[in-house]
Amino acid sequence: MFQLTVTPASALADEPVHIQATGLPPLQMVTLIATMKDDKGNLYRSRAFYRANEAGELDLKRDPAVGGHYTGVHPMGLLWSLKSEKPFDRLIKRDVMNTPFWITLDLYDSVYIHKVGKVQPKASQVMQRWFSSPDLQRVPIREGRVRGALFLPPGEGPFPGLLDLLGGIGGLVEYRASLLAVRGFAVLTLAYFAYDDLPKQLEEVDLEYFEEAANLLLAHPKVQKPGIGVISVSKGAEIGLAMACYLKQVAATVCINGTNAIHEFPLRYRDLVINPIPSYPERMQVNVEGAVRIRHFKGDPRDERNQHSVLPVEKARGPILFVVGEADECFNSKEYAEQALDQLRKHGKSSGRMLAYPGAGHLLEPHYGPLCYMSWSHGLFLPMLWGGDPEGHAAAQEHSWQEILKFFRQHLVLSRRYIAPSKF
């Protein structure tokens, strides 16, 4: 009798599961198919072909996939290789508090390459992937100019505070903040355009808005003083690095695939105005699928004419962790990180570190999420090419997520009153 098991069947989205099958004919070729719908009902699928052992057993921790969306031993491959059936879609969990992603696993006793539903599977299981824990608190923030959502772990605290900045997607995105809060941080995910009464388009970066958000977070009775961390990606990482340079409230910063200078829009802070490095839209390239590659769109921060736009990283009060994908097709992010590290060294500082990942694209997420190679982005007339290959990107996400947690735990001491959940 065919049996398929997933352990645990309900887990946090950044936790591994153990997938096994028993009762198979010895050395039988089988197919595993994962199917999931996002919050909008868009369908995601992956499939892999395996051979059972002589005892008629299959263990994804031990046995290699011989074909399908990936090959080799990848215990979580069915999750990170999920692909949208809708072109240029990006998987984003919107309702992080009330519902999980439901993923159905189907087992077929052959190399099944037909449409799902044409043949009944021999066994099925459903797993839940959650982005919050039952006792996590979400507080909508609409205070002064600040718009966002604050996630608080259970308990009295105080908890180390983090500000979470996404990039050009705009709006309010919460899935990374909620997962970080489960790990013991008080996290304010911050909208800065295309949300509520904020500007619909980003036209300039007002650093005082982000300072107001940092002060609001630090003023919360459950947030640890005296400084906060910033986790940021893409355009958000440019802003995050500027915060590290100019705001005394920032004690530690993670910049994921960002820049080391001001691009596209001016940055203002009190009497300071930093004008952006010129961009060159004629350098944009469109790939065979119709997605635009803007890796060479930005002007070079090393050019003498652009030095006024380079951020003074040597002024940062705390450590900076640069996380970069070497297959990033959106930014030349490794080069930007190397320039920032060189600048720190020239000023006698060793407070910067870089994690560089071959095969990783632009959109590095909490691990086990699927690669988004290209998708629509806010305000663009063509889909954006983000880059990356599924296997290399998955390995980068798994390693970098743990390193990011370790970095903030090292530089923002976790409250001893909080014990992170060992399981969901």
Q: Is 234 a catalytic residue?
A: yes
CB 343 within 8 A of CB 314: yes
Longest Cα separation, the chain = 74
Q: Token match 């390459």: residue?
A: 113
CB 152 within 8 A of CB 185: no
Structure tokens at 296: 């060479």
Q: Token match 């380079």: residue?
A: 310
Q: How far is CA 124 from the centre of its chain?
A: 29
Euclidean distance between the first and final Cα of the chain, in Å? Answer: 30
Counting Cα atoms < 13 Å in the Cβ hemisphere of 408 gives 31
- The residue among 357, 397, 389, 395 whose CA lies nearest residue 373 is 389
Helix 207-219 / helix 235-246 crossing angle, nearest 10 deg: 70
Query: What single-letter amino acid sits at 387?
Result: G
Pairing relation of β-strands 58-59 and 29-37? unpaired
Q: Is 106 a catalytic residue?
A: no
Order across the sheet with 374-375: list the strands: 285-286, 292-293, 384-385, 374-375
Three-state secondary structure along 44-67? EEEEEEEECCCCCCEECCCCCECE
Catalytic residue among 362, 367, 377, 393: 362
Q: Is the dihedral of CA 316, 312, 261, 388 positive or negative?
A: negative
Catalytic residue among 109, 164, 328, 400: 328
Looking at the chain, the number of H-run helices and the number of E-run strands are: 6, 25
Residues in Cβ contact with 99 at an 8 Å cutoff, skipping those fewer than 6 apart: 39
CB 353 within 8 A of CB 337: no
Residue 396 φ/ψ, nearest 5 degrees: -65, -45
By annotation, the residues acting in catalysis are 234, 328, 362
